[in-house]
Amino acid sequence: MRTDQYALYRVDLNTAGKDLWKKPYDQLKSENRQIRIDFYRQIHISNLSAREAIMDIWERTADIRDVSDVIVVNRDGEVSCFYVDENTPRRISGFIRINSSGALVTLDTKDYRIDGMEGNWLAADEIIIDGRQFFLMEHQDYHRQTTRVILDCYGKKIMEECGNGFDQQTKEILHGYVRNNQIKEPDAIEKQNKPDRLKRLELWQKAYENGHYERSWESGMEVNYDAIDGCVNHQKDHPGKALSDPEKKPKKRMSVIKRLREKQIVIAKRTGRSVPKYLEQQLAREKD
């Protein structure tokens, strides 16, 4: 069962955001200062009843809150953040930033191109629902004079024509989208990856028992198992073939590289080109 809560955050004077302490919201906005959770620490948390709104929380925290604090409300998986100004809470965006791998859109995004739509777009607002972050995109030139679009952090278009932004109807649609597009649970991912992991474990177990990977591979497929070289290419010995004489010297095999160099010299002479000196020098060294 989901538990709705709110938490109160205060500026951490040991961070780079210490200058935010007790500053009015309008001043920070005019200075284009960022209000991020990295600069804060949690000082209070409490459960939230279904009927309580932000003004009820404002009254409940009158004795402990101070200007520049931030109230974070988590209701039904939807996260909202409010800056404690001198006389009223001010809703803010970007206080909590989810670092999703491969994210294309953030609250700082500008000059963004959306498929099928003209012009450049910027992120005007954001909302977090069950850990999924969505952004309200506005046209950089026309802003609210034209349609607005909602994207997820990967740039996927979720909704079009959102003239009223994140109103109640839009939030309900996003809640439905999140429910119908849940990320796989860890147990499901674990079950899906289990066969591959077991296969790899079996291979490496054979490698451990037999010495190395090539040995584990050839031990099950090699015909005569007389050489471990990574290639299953040995044929079974002929039953009538006599054993080779140990005193007889085996024929010396000609180097493949040497034959290649000789071939290069022949081709050079045939075509009337000069033979590279390094080839003649290498052949002379090999003859010696």
Helix segments in the chain, DSSP class H:
25-30, 54-60, 168-180, 186-210, 213-221, 256-270, 277-287
The full length of the chain comes to 288
> Residue 178 is encoded by which pair of tokens?
């999140």
- Which residue has better confidence, 103 or 248? 103
Burial of residue 155, with CB atoms counted within 10 A of its CB: 0-12 exposed, 13-18 middle, 19 or more buried:
middle
46 plus 9 within the same structural domain: yes
Mean pLDDT of the chain, nearest integer? 80
In a domain, 106, yes or no: no
- Express each pLDDT in 122-142 by its tens digit: 999 999 998 899 999 999 998
> Residue 163 is encoded by which pair of tokens?
């003239």
| Residue 265 near residue 234 (C-beta atoms within 8 A) | no
Burial of residue 190, with CB atoms counted within 10 A of its CB: 0-12 exposed, 13-18 middle, 19 or more buried:
exposed
In a domain, 250, yes or no: no
Q: What is the pLDDT of residue 146?
A: 86
Of 74, 92, 110, the position where a domain reaches its end is 92
**Confidence class of residue 195 from pLDDT cuts 50, 70 and 90?**
low
In a domain, 102, yes or no: no
Instruction: Quote the CA–CA distance of 205 and 212 in Å, as a whole number.
Output: 10
In a domain, 172, yes or no: yes
74 plus 24 within the same structural domain: yes
Instruction: Quote the CA–CA distance of 24 and 179 in Å, as a whole number.
Output: 38
pLDDT over 80 (residue 247): no
174 plus 212 within the same structural domain: no
Neighbours of 114 (CB within 10 A): 16
Instruction: Quote the CA–CA distance of 208 and 214 in Å, as a whole number.
Output: 11
In a domain, 116, yes or no: no
Q: What is the pLDDT of residue 185?
A: 42
In a domain, 104, yes or no: no
In a domain, 32, yes or no: yes
pLDDT over 70 (residue 107): yes
Q: Which residue has the tokens 């039953």?
A: 239
- Which residue has better confidence, 144 or 45? 45
176 plus 190 within the same structural domain: no
Instruction: Quote the CA–CA distance of 285 and 287 in Å, as a whole number.
Output: 5
- Which residue has better confidence, 221 or 262? 262
How many separate domains does the chain show? 4
- Express each pLDDT in 62-99 by its tens digit: 999 999 999 999 998 999 999 999 999 999 999 998 87
Q: From residue 278, how far is each of 32, 264, 281 by CA, in Å? A: 68, 12, 5
69 plus 10 within the same structural domain: yes
83 plus 10 within the same structural domain: yes
In a domain, 48, yes or no: yes
Neighbours of 89 (CB within 10 A): 22
67 plus 85 within the same structural domain: yes
The residue range of the domain holding 276 is: 256-287
DSSP output for 230-258: S---PPPPPTTPPPPPTTSPPPPPPPHHH
- Express each pLDDT in 225-242 by its tens digit: 455 455 555 555 555 555
Instruction: Quote the CA–CA distance of 90 and 82 in Å, as a whole number.
Output: 5
Stretch 99-115: mean pLDDT: 85
33 plus 75 within the same structural domain: yes
Share of the chain above pLDDT 90, in %: 45
Q: Please report how the helices 213-221 and 186-210 are oriented relative to each other, as an axis angle in degrees rounded to 10.
A: 80
174 plus 209 within the same structural domain: no
31-47 residues labelled b (16+ CB within 10 A) or e (exposed): eeeebbbebbeeeeeee
- Express each pLDDT in 6-53 by its tens digit: 999 999 999 999 999 999 999 999 999 999 999 999 999 999 988 899
Neighbours of 95 (CB within 10 A): 24
Q: From residue 189, how far is each of 143, 177, 180, 181, 185 by CA, in Å? A: 42, 21, 18, 15, 6
pLDDT over 50 (residue 189): no
| Residue 126 near residue 107 (C-beta atoms within 8 A) | yes
